[in-house]
């Protein structure tokens, strides 16, 4: 199962991709496996040499005993120190940011695909929509002729 952050792909040009582990509780893992994750408003912040996933909404698991669960708490990402230092250098003062592109399960562990992203301008949005429409029309014509 792979949960994709469509909002990030729409709003940003993804320049680089990086895979990171994430620290989750057992109830959060069960909730993600049930598909109750929203990465739409989330981003990644580096604080005190550690990377955190901020504003990712993992809904409360129904059978969990924790009644005071915070669905949007910051969750630590597992990266090597050299990777974090590299990300700090790439994001400092260059108009780039870190966004979660997707979350998926790999060998029974959840991974976050981190993207080094640059914001799209308004004309970039229009251009990408025009390209998608053109590709859809070409696909429909090819299907119609077969």
Residue 83 inside a domain? The answer is: yes
pLDDT tens by residue, 75-87: 999 999 999 998 8
**Alpha helices (runs of H) in the chain, residue ranges in sequence order:** 6-11, 26-33, 81-91, 122-145
Nearest Cα residue to 53 out of 69, 64, 37: 37
- 78 HSE (CA, 13 A, CB side): 7
Compute the average pLDDT of residues 57-82.
84
- 10 HSE (CA, 13 A, CB side): 10
pLDDT at res. 104: 93
Q: For residue 83, what are the contacts with CB-CB under 8 A and spacing of at least 6? A: 18, 20
pLDDT at res. 22: 93
Residue 71 inside a domain? The answer is: yes
Q: pLDDT band for position 146 (50/70/90)?
A: low
Number of domains in the chain: 1
The rounded mean pLDDT for the chain is 87
Q: Are 14 and 116 in contact (CB under 8 A)?
A: yes
Residue 88 inside a domain? The answer is: yes
Residue 106 inside a domain? The answer is: yes
Residue 21 inside a domain? The answer is: yes
What range defines the domain where residue 84 resides?
2-119
Is the pLDDT at 64 greater than 80? The verdict is no
pLDDT tens by residue, 92-144: 877 889 999 999 999 999 999 999 988 887 777 777 788 888 889 898 888 87
Query: Where residue 11 sits, what CATH number does that domain have?
Result: 2.40.280.10
């Amino acid at each position: 199962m792979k949960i994709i952050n469509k909002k990030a792909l729409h709003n940003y040009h993804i320049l680089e991709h990086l895979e990171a582990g994430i620290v989750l509780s057992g109830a959060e893992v069960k909730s993600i496996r049930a598909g109750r994750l929203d990465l739409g408003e989330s981003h990644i912040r580096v604080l005190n040499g550690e990377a955190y996933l901020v504003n990712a909404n993992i809904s409360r698991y129904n059978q969990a005993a924790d009644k005071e669960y915070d669905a949007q708490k910051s969750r630590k990402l597992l990266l090597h120190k050299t990777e974090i230092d590299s990300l700090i250098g790439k994001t400092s003062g260059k108009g780039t940011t870190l966004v979660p592109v997707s979350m998926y399960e790999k060998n029974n562990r959840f991974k976050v695909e981190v993207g080094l992203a640059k914001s799209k301008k308004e004309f970039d949005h229009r251009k990408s929509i025009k390209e998608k429409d053109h590709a859809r029309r070409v696909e429909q014509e090819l299907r119609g002729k077969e």
